[in-house]
Amino acid sequence: MRTAEEVVNEIHSALGDGDKQGLRNTAALLETLQAWPVCPVIHAAGTNGKGSVCAMLNSVLTAAGYRTGMYTSPFLQTYSERIRLNGKPITQEMLARYGNETLDAAEKLKREKDYHCTPFELGTALAFHTFRAENAELIISETGMGGRLDPTNAVPNPTVCTITAIGMDHMQYLGHTLSAIAGEKAGIIKHGVPVVCYPPEEKEVRNVLTARAEKENAPLKIPEKGQVRIREANARYTIADYDTGCRRWENLKISLPGEHQTVNALVVLCVLEELEKQGISVPEEAVISGLGNTFWPGRLEWSGNVIMDGAHNAQGIAAFCRYVQEQLSGKKKVLLTGVLKEKLSEGMLNGLASVTDTAVAVTPDSPRAMDAEELAGLLRGKGMEALAANTLKEGLETARTLAGENGLILATGSLYFIGALREALSLKG
């Protein structure tokens, strides 16, 4: 029997052997494992914010007393973060037990049908197998990068779907226009299944989402940002009033900071209303407690004077910049950043360069990483004072020296980088 570590290594090793054929492999794995969900499923897609929406939903539903399963990606530090029961990563024992069964099922499919599963297909099947075996009462499932052909879309009958903010990312796979990317994300919309969407700023995105919902006869709700009235906003949390159209909420504390998270919380409230319509009751106190206590690592997360955010595209960096401008003005700030080469668009680079005037660049631990010296050179080209560090430890020490006792370190650019930084700061969970 493989250990948990061996399970993870074998999943990752499928990267070179996997052969994605639509949703076929995932469906075959779920069938072989008898892991089709027998409880309600909330399915989430989007470019930015879907992990935060999932985390808020999970926090609320757990507070309501439901036994939840949540599947997200990627992970920051340990693979088991991707598969959570009641908000906590599954144990190493569970990872080993259900991982062995999943890998054995994949070997059977390879031997009998010549199906070669990818790492994400294996991870998705492992998650749903775990949730079924551990008697989850509600599942929150986040897509990877797409929607239409994402392995999570093999589940045919979600209870409600949600699509968060859509922006330019993964263009080599999803298309080079917002309309094309929105079309891929909208592929999770199922016939007759209600869908709640983050209010898109671009008309073409709204048109794509509306057309898909009409085609599938799926009840569509797109709330507007004007339905949120912020009462108090600071660097750690927001207090806001909400009008969902069905009810009013006053003085709700949103523990995830940033204006964008208040709108994500609006999406969450609308999803909860759809669940209520289908008999899944969520008490008011669970909503208040869940939203007020959501923790989602690496998303505007504070550790001492370090603020970490996993923004890794132009849209995410823009939200990060707004937060810094609104909540951290007047403070000395140093940018600590590392990026993946294919992610660094001109918009993202401009955003990074606008956040402060001093930067320290590091090389994330990924074969796709941009070299720190190259990134520092690009930032210098935007008018910044930018240094390149040989290691993350060196970069953190340099940033601390530059920030001084009363300054702040703004860490962003890649989830890989944030995961390594959390490790360096001895943060868990």
**Mean pLDDT, to the nearest integer, of 307-327?**
94
Domains assigned to the chain: 4-292 (3.40.1190.10), 301-424 (3.90.190.20)
Q: By the 8 A CB rule, do 73 and 218 touch?
A: no
**Average pLDDT estimate for 220-242:** 97
Q: What is the pLDDT of residue 145?
A: 86
Ramachandran category for residue 365: left, alpha or beta (phi over 0 → left; psi -120 to 50 → alpha): beta
Q: Show the tokens assigned to 62.
A: 């757990």
Average of pLDDT values for 415-427? 95
Of 191, 257, 252, which is closest to residue 227 (Cα–Cα)? Answer: 252
% of the chain with per-residue pLDDT over 90: 92
Q: Per residue in 87-146, pLDDT tens? A: 999 999 999 999 999 999 999 999 999 999 999 999 999 999 999 999 999 999 999 988
User: What average pLDDT does range 267-273 have in this prediction?
Assistant: 98
User: What are the pLDDT digits (tens) for 387-399?
Assistant: 999 999 999 999 9
Report, as an integer, the average pLDDT of 341-364: 95
Is a pLDDT exceeding 90 seen at residue 173? no
Beta carbons within 10 angstroms of residue 428's beta carbon: 10
Question: CB–CB of 102/125 below 8 Å?
Answer: yes
Torsion of CA 375, 376, 379, 381, to 10 degrees: -110
- pLDDT (0 to 100) of residue 409: 98
Reference 269, options 196, 377, 345, 182; nearest CA is: 196
**Residue 172: pLDDT band with limits 50, 70, 90:** confident
Q: Is the pLDDT of residue 369 over 90?
A: yes
Q: How confident is the model at residue 20 (pLDDT cuts 50, 70, 90)?
A: confident
Q: How would DSSP label each residue in 200-215?
A: -SSHHHHHHHHHHHHH
Q: Rounded mean pLDDT of 347-354?
A: 95
Query: What is the residue-averaged pLDDT of the chain?
Result: 96
Q: What is the pLDDT of residue 11?
A: 97
Which element (helix H / strand E) includes 89?
strand 88-89
pLDDT at 168: 77
Is the whole-model pTM more than 0.85? Answer: yes
In the predicted model, is pLDDT for residue 169 greater than 90?
no
Give me the mean pLDDT over the 30-37 stretch: 98
**Nearest of 294, 366, 343 to residue 76 by alpha carbon:** 366
Given pLDDT bands bounded at 50, 70 and 90, which one contains residue 428?
Answer: confident
Q: With bands split at pLDDT 50, 70 and 90, how would you rate the model's confidence at 170?
A: confident
